[in-house]
A and B are shown apart, each in its own frame.
Chain A
Amino acid sequence: DTEVTQTPKHLVMGMTNKKSLKCEQHMGHRAMYWYKQKAKKPPELMFVYSYEKLSINESVPSRFSPECPNSSLLNLHLHALQPEDSALYLCASSPGMAGGPGGQFFGPGTRLTVL
Chain B
Amino acid sequence: GENVEQHPSTLSVQEGDSAVIKCTYSDSASNYFPWYKQELGKRPQLIIDIRSNVGEKKDQRIAVTLNKTAKHFSLHITETQPEDSAVYFCAANSGGYQKVTFGTGTKLQVIP
Contacts and interface: CB of A to CB of B under 8 A. Distances in A.
Interface of A: 31, 33, 40-43, 45, 48, 50, 55-56, 90, 97-101, 103-109
B100 A90 contact: no
A103 B46 contact: yes
19 contacts: A31-B98, A42-B89, A43-B44, A45-B99, A48-B98, A90-B43, A98-B99, A98-B100, A99-B93, A99-B96, A99-B98, A100-B32, A100-B93, A101-B49, A103-B34, A103-B49, A104-B100, A106-B44, A108-B42
A42 B34 CA distance: 14
A48 B93 CA distance: 14
Interface string B43-72: 111100101000000000000000000000
A52 B66 CA distance: 34
Nearest to A45: B99
A73 to B, nearest CB: 18
A113 B46 CA distance: 27
Contacts of A33: 99
Given A33-B99, A48-B99, 18 more contacts: A31-B98, A42-B89, A42-B104, A42-B105, A43-B44, A43-B89, A43-B102, A90-B43, A90-B44, A97-B98, A98-B97, A98-B99, A99-B32, A99-B96, A101-B32, A101-B49, A103-B36, A103-B46
A109 B43 CA distance: 7
Interface of B: 32, 34, 36, 42-46, 49, 51, 89, 93-100, 102-105
A58 B102 CA distance: 14
Contact of B105 (A40, A99, A101, A108): A40
A114 B43 CA distance: 21
A70 B95 CA distance: 24
A41 B103 CA distance: 9
Given A100-B32, A101-B51, A42 B99 contact: no
A97 B43 contact: no
B105 A41 contact: yes
B97 A99 contact: yes
Contacts of A106: 43-45
